[in-house]
Amino acid sequence: MEERMEYIVLDLEWNQSNTGKEDAVEKLPFEIIEIGAIKLNNERVMVSEFNELIKPQVYHEMHKITSKLIHIQMRELERGRPFPEVGGDFVRWCGQEEYLFCTWGTLDLTELQRNMAYYEMPLLAPGPLPYLDVQKLFAIAYEERKIRRNLEYAIDFLHIEKDIPFHRAFSDAYYTAKILIRILEEHPEVVVNLSYDTFCPPKDRRDEVKAQFDTYVKYISREFKDKTEAFADKEVVSSKCYLCHRNLRKKIKWFSANGRHYYCVAYCEKHGYLKGKIRVRKAYDGGVYIVKTTKLIPKEEAEAIAARRDHAREVRKRHKHSKAGNTGE
């Protein structure tokens, strides 16, 4: 991590179709209505703020859950400016210095770029965008890695003063920044655990992401026409030991129980069993890309995956026989 790196701590609020008079727009399921952000310098000091409401252009009815959660009325939003103006000001506010986006969770940067794409604005990056998921960093630093807590829980856990209300973009960015400062002070080693926003997948093989962390490795593929083309790619379906970099033979070949997540198990004679997991993601323009993770697992987990594969096979077999029987009638 760069020593002179600045941090842009971002939070968004958005609205969506209320399933009433307004139908959902496919390219913009979530319309951003508020942007809040805090800028931290490399000395972990809050040096600048951004906070602005956005006038809706797509959904003019407030979703009932959104209204109840964030206490914003549509008449307040009508006094705001359209997203292209506010979004452009936000990008200029971020500045030219090298910075890293930081969010609580994984959704904000995707939805920010989706809104930018809808209005044909320049995106934040031409490919995967590295950022810090402070929610994940909190779990790694203070609890079990896989646990995901809400923002208020983390504030209470760290005994940080609650001096402004939650559930508005600026206040949630403010509290996220407070938590990030504590993590940087107490557990700076966890900040190497970058996340990647993949609204824009890699453009070609040279730009594909291969990131190694302490307990797993992540691969983000370029975009493919469809899932069949993706699984025909050798790099996508390969299994390698990320410790000794050997190509491995699979004990359990790639399989899926739901058509979205795929699993395999390979074996390294030096380091043991490795689980591969593939998630098939849809790209904004209609193609697909692959996010693959590989990690070491105990033999017991490998056996559990084998049992899951066998169960998936049995379900498919029953479904096939049932379908054949119905056709015969």
Please choose, from the candidates 281, 231, 290, the residue with its C-alpha nearest in 3D space to the C-alpha of residue 255.
231
Distances (CA, A) of 141 to 47, 144, 216, 248, 274: 25, 8, 17, 32, 25
Please choose, from the candidates 181, 288, 294, the residue with its C-alpha nearest in 3D space to the C-alpha of residue 239.
294
Here the tokens at position 312 are 């998936």
Please choose, from the candidates 78, 91, 76, the residue with its C-alpha nearest in 3D space to the C-alpha of residue 35.
91
Which residues of the chain have a pLDDT value below 70? 1-4, 20-21, 323-329
Here the tokens at position 161 are 């003063």
Give CA–CA dist 201/181, Å, rounded. 30
Q: At what angle do helices 83-94 and 108-118 cross, to 10 degrees?
A: 130
At 324 the pLDDT is 63
Please choose, from the candidates 93, 91, 62, the residue with its C-alpha nearest in 3D space to the C-alpha of residue 76.
62
Give the pairing type, strands 250-256 and 217-220. unpaired
Phi, psi of 319 (to 5 degrees): -65, -40
The separation between the first and the last C-alpha atoms of the chain, rounded to the nearest angstrom, is: 65
Give CA–CA dist 177/104, Å, rounded. 9
Number of other residues whose CB lies within 10 A of the CB of residue 309: 19
Give CA–CA dist 240/150, Å, rounded. 35
At 328 the pLDDT is 52
